[in-house]
Chains A and B, each alone.
Chain A
Amino acid sequence: AQRVTQPEKLLSVFKGAPVELKCNYSYSGSPELFWYVQYSRQRLQLLLRHISRESIKGFTADLNKGETSFHLKKPFAQEEDSAMYYCALSGLGGGADGLTFGKGTHLIIQP
């Protein structure tokens, strides 16, 4: 069975400090990993995916198959980064059975 674990329910950091949201997964095959973000009163939206290997809004995430992790990082937090972040996994390369989501981490950036 596939599983996504986000160990922190809440993460609070000061503006300008580095941010790391942890995500670990369990899957026997070759997974595809995503980070989704939900800002206050907005719909859930894709932030980034590991196959793109790109930086979005200053965030990056590297898939580490040895540690089965896909941590989300940003060197300098901004207040507008405050949101709910979900790590998600697709076990079939984005196949038709949807994504398995973690429980989410609420990121609060303090001024």
Chain B
Amino acid sequence: DVKVTQSSRYLVKRTGEKVFLECVQDMDHENMFWYRQDPGLGLRLIYFSYDVKMKEKGDIPEGYSVSREKKERFSLILESASTNQTSMYLCATQGNTGELFFGEGSRLTVL
């Protein structure tokens, strides 16, 4: 079974703090993604990566950055958290069939 592990299930941060969300996969998949999930808005792609040290902007990259230093790890960084970044963040990897495999999610609250 594919395992996608997100390091933090719940985080509470203050406005202006730097936030790291980490995602690790054990299936040697090249493609990894960060989405945010909001009620009524569905899933929106923030950033994705198709190889180590490679990254591409998704639909809503503003306020976020990413890091892919190793194939198995894809980190999402909020340089200065704001209240409108309160959300559920989902990491996913993509297998050879195109299917996405998701982590359990990280629920971030910014006060």
Contacts and interface: CB of A to CB of B under 8 A. Distances in A.
Contacts, number: 55
A98 interface: yes
Interface in B53-82: 56, 58
A103 B92 contact: no
Contacts of A46: 99-100
B100 A99 contact: yes
Give the size category of B's interface with A. Answer: 20 to 34
A98 B40 contact: no
B94 A102 contact: no
Nearest to B45: A98
19 contacts: A9-B40, A32-B98, A36-B100, A43-B104, A44-B43, A44-B102, A45-B102, A46-B100, A49-B98, A94-B98, A94-B99, A95-B98, A96-B31, A96-B48, A96-B94, A98-B45, A101-B44, A104-B42, A104-B43
Interface of A: 6, 9, 32, 34, 36, 43-46, 49, 86, 88, 90, 93-104
Interface of B: 30-31, 33, 35, 40-45, 48, 50, 56, 58, 90, 92, 94, 97-100, 102-105
The 5 closest A-B pairs by CB, nearest first: A94-B98, A103-B42, A101-B43, A96-B50, A44-B102
